[in-house]
Structure 1
Amino acid sequence: MLDLLQLYTGFPFHKHLDDFDFTFQPSIDVKKIKELKTLRFMYEKENVIFLGPPGVGKTHLAVGLGMEGIKEGKKVYFINSITLVDKLKKSFYERSFEKQMRFYKALDLLIIDELGYLPLDSEGAKLFFELISEKYEQGSVIVTSNRSFNEWNKIFEDEVIATAVLDRLLHHSTIINIRGKSYRLREKQKSGMIRLDTSKIIDENAQN
C-alpha cells in the first residue's frame, strides 16, 4: 500500500505531523501547524511556504500535510523543484505542455520541494511562473525553500519573475520560517563530533 502511495503521490517517504519533534525546533509556532492540519488552507486554496536551512524538517512537515490531505481524499502530488522544471521543459518541447499543466492544475495540493538549492535558467523560470499562475486561487501549493524571499531573484535570475511568483504564492499563504538546527546532524552535534550552526536563514518577510 505504501509503495502504491509513493508511486501516485511522489512522496520521498511517509511521515506524519505527529512524528515531528517540535521540541527540537522551538522556533515553529505549533498553533500554526495545528491550524494547517485542519486543511482549511487546502479548502480555501491557500498556499504554505516553509523556509529554513537544510535539515530542519521542512520536507517532513510538507509531507505530513500532504498525508493529511490524502486521508481526506484530496489529490496530492510531491515533486522536487528541479525535477518539476525538467518535466515542464520536456513537455514543452514534446508539445504536451498543456496536458502536463492540466495534471498539476487538477491537484488539490502540489508540494514543490527544495526550491532554491539550484538556480533556474531563464526558460525554467518562465515555465515555473506559468505553473504558479495556473495554480493561483485554483489549488494549494506548498513550497519548501532554503532561501529567504529577498534572495528569490537569485533562484530565478530575474527579479521581475521572482516578484511575480512571490506575488501569487504569498497573496493567500501561511509562512513557516524555521530557525533551527539540522535533525540529520543533531546526533553528531550531541557527541561533539561536529560544530555547525545552520540557523542563519532569517526572513524578514516571515515577520509580516
Structure 2
Amino acid sequence: MVLDPHRWLELRRFRGLYESGAMSLREIAKETGLNRRTVTKYLSGEAPVAPPKRTTEGRQQGRVVDEVAPLIDAMLRSEILLKASVIHERLASEYQVTINYQRVKIYLQEARPRIAEELGISPGELAGLHRRFEVVPGAQAQVDWGDEGKVLAHVGIPKVYSFHMTLSYSRDPFCCFTTSQDLASFFDCHRAAFAHFGGVPMTIVYDRTKTVVRRHVAPGEAVPLHPEAVAFSGHYDFDIDVLAAYRPAGKGRVERQVLIVRDHVLAGRAFSSTEEMNAAFAAWVPLRRAKVHGTHGEIVGHRAVRDHMALRPLPSTPYVVAQRHLRHVGKDCLVAFDANLYSVPARKVRPRQLVEIRA
C-alpha cells in the first residue's frame, strides 16, 4: 500500500513520538485512522516513509482513480449503496476503463460519505440503509412462522402457530394455523400454500430453521440442508434459498405479512379451532387483494394474476414428508417405536435387520 500525500504528511509527524517512545503503534493507528499494519510498516523501518512521487516539473502526480472519479460519483448519485465490485465491473464493460479494484474501493471510502452528504443522507442513515430488491413474477416466495400464543387455550390447545408464505412480486399472501412446527406440519403447510396459489415459485427464501437446515455453520460455509427439505424441493421443483445469519431484511415481505394478518384477521376475535382461524384468513384474502400496495403501487390482486400465471405447475402426485428413524427387527418380527411395538412382514425381513420407519 502506498500512502497518499495527506496520509503521508499526517503519519510523518508521529515518527519522532514513536521513536522516543511517547506513543505506541496502536495509539498512532487510532489517532490517524490508519490500519495498524500500515503504521507498523512505515514507522518500524519495514518501509521508508517517502514523500509521494512528483513529475519532472515538480507537480505531484495525480491518482489513476481521479480520471474516473466523475463517473464513479455519478454512479453513486444514482445508487448510493452501489458496491465497489459493481462499479469496477461497469467501468470496464461500459467505459473500457482498466483500473485496479483496490483503488476503486479506497476511493469509495472517501466518495460515498461525500455524495451521501450531497444527497442529504446523514452518516447514521447511510449505515442503516439497505437496497430494496424486486423480482419478476413467479420467481420467489418467502416463508416464515408466527407465534400466536394461547389464542385457543380456552379449548385445551396450549399454543398456536401461523405459517406464512408470500409471493415476492405481488405480495399475495397465504397463511394457515397449526399447533405444531414439526417437519411434517411444516411441509403440509407448503402443500396448502401451493394449492392456494395454484403453482410453485422458482425459489423459496427461508431463515435458518431446523426443518430446512440440519445444523448451523460458520459464515461463508455451505449450509447443510435437511434431507427431507431437499427431497421436497426436488419433487416440487423449486430452489431453497437460506438467508445468511443476522439478515432479517432478507425476507421482510413475509415478516411484514405476519403482523398484517395478526392485526386484520386475529385481533379482537375469538376462535374455537384452527379451522375457524383458517376460514377467517380465507375470508380476508379478497380484501387484501383489493388493496393498492404501498410499495409497488398496484392493486395486489392484479399483480397476483401475473404472479400466479408464472408459477411452475404442481406435480401430479404430492410428496408426503415423514420423520425417518432406523430400528432393529426383533426375533418376533416386531420393531419398537415411540413406546409401541409394530409388526413387519416376516417373509421380507430377518431378525436384527435394520429397517427404516417413516412416522
Shorter-chain TM-score bucket reads under 0.3
Higher-RCO chain (CA-CA 8 Å, sequence separation at least 6): 1
Query: How high is the TM-score relative to the length of structure 2?
Result: 0.17
By percentage of residues, which structure has more helix? 1
Structure possessing the higher radius of gyration over alpha carbons: 2
